[in-house]
Amino acid sequence: MMKSQGQKRMKKKLTRQAMKGMTGLLLVVIAYIATPFAWGLTYGKGYTKEEQGKMKIIAHRGGAALAPENTLACFCKGIEAGADMIELDIHLTKDGEIVVCHDQTVDRTTDGTGKIRDLTLQQIRQLHVVDADGNLTDEHLPAMQEVFDLVGQARSEGSSCGILIEIKRTRNIYQGIEEKLLQQISDNGARDWVIVQSFNDFALEKIHQLDPDIRLEKLVFCKPLGLPFVIDGWGMSWFSFKKYDYVRSFNFECHGLSKSLLEKIHSHGKEVKVWTLDGPETAPHLDVDGIITNRPDLWQH
């Protein structure tokens, strides 16, 4: 009996030690992955007007600080602010229509509830967008075609604004979204003023397979030092410049990019954009090619 109790105590002790070891290892891994973010906090702040003029200014979700995000009103604000591009996010409805929204559900941004993939476009059109303070507006989640119409009209009136489209995608949802998007790009004569980006490699590879001439950009949170992978979305992807030879730009979270990696990317002939920023005075100073910002009105261009 005594031996059995001793064995139990020993087993508990070993279990506690193992848990402590696993916790310590996890903390080390987290600290290692977070290293680029620590570097980012040490960078100088601000850009001169001359530096701003050399970069592409992209209105994040249309310019999310100017109007309710990812709405036609917000896209108008972004265009009026002189953004080179408006950035937006797309999903596929239950009846196979492309709709613009950041989240997979309508819960946060509208007065409705539910996953976009479980709702029809008609059901989504009946919902009203709420602003940042939770107030109902007259805005609705737009169909992608409405955005093509809006930007196309602005371009016909002299604007040079384009669209940076993020595909929200996994292998299991939104089957066929790439084909539908490419068809809309073709139907609207938008090949020269549309760029597609995604965290998801499958979506990027599918677009490239279907139409190698569409400009593609890879979204990244950070790349741990010395390791052959990147943190993208909630997962990780193996990384090499050969793998992403078809990608024209790597778009990083603004604190997740080291200067040495930036220089290496540039040396391979690729561009770099950073997200998500407000005004230039508080932005980490990096020699990037584009700024994705909630306040395009604050950037000189």
- Domains, the chain, with CATH or none: 35-104+142-298 (3.20.20.190)
Q: What are phi and psi of 48, to 5 degrees?
A: -75, 165
Alpha-carbon distance values, 182 to 102, 203, 231, 243, 278 (Å): 20, 12, 27, 22, 31
Q: Which residues are annotated as catalytic?
A: 60, 102
Asked whether the beta carbons of 83 and 111 are under 8 A apart, the reply is no
Instruction: Round the average pLDDT of the chain to a whole number and report it.
Output: 91
Pairwise pLDDT comparison (151 vs 44), residue with the higher score: 151
Number of CB atoms found within 10 A of residue 2's CB? 6
CA distance 139 to 124: 12
Q: Is the pLDDT reported for residue 295 higher than 60?
A: yes
Whether the pLDDT of residue 124 is over 50: the answer is yes
Residue 173 to residue 46: CA distance in whole angstroms:
40
Identify the pLDDT of residue 28.
47
pLDDT at 38 over 80: no
Average pLDDT over residues 16-43: 59
Binning pLDDT at 50, 70 and 90, where does residue 209 land?
very high
**Weakest mean pLDDT among 99-108, 204-213, 228-237:** 228-237
pLDDT confidence of residue 14? 60
Side-chain-facing half-sphere of 277: CA atoms under 13 Å: 30
% of the chain residues with pLDDT over 90 = 78
What are the backbone dihedrals phi and psi of residue 272, each rounded to the nearest 5 degrees, phi first? -135, 130
pLDDT band per the 50, 70, 90 thresholds, residue 24: very low
Residue that the structure tokens 């089957």 belong to: 175
Q: Residue 301 — very low, low, confident or very high, per pLDDT cuts 50/70/90?
A: confident
CA distance 116 to 125: 11
pLDDT tens digit sequence for 249-287: 999 999 889 899 999 999 999 999 999 999 999 899 999
Amino acid at 301: H
Beta strands in 5-97 (DSSP E): 56-59, 85-92
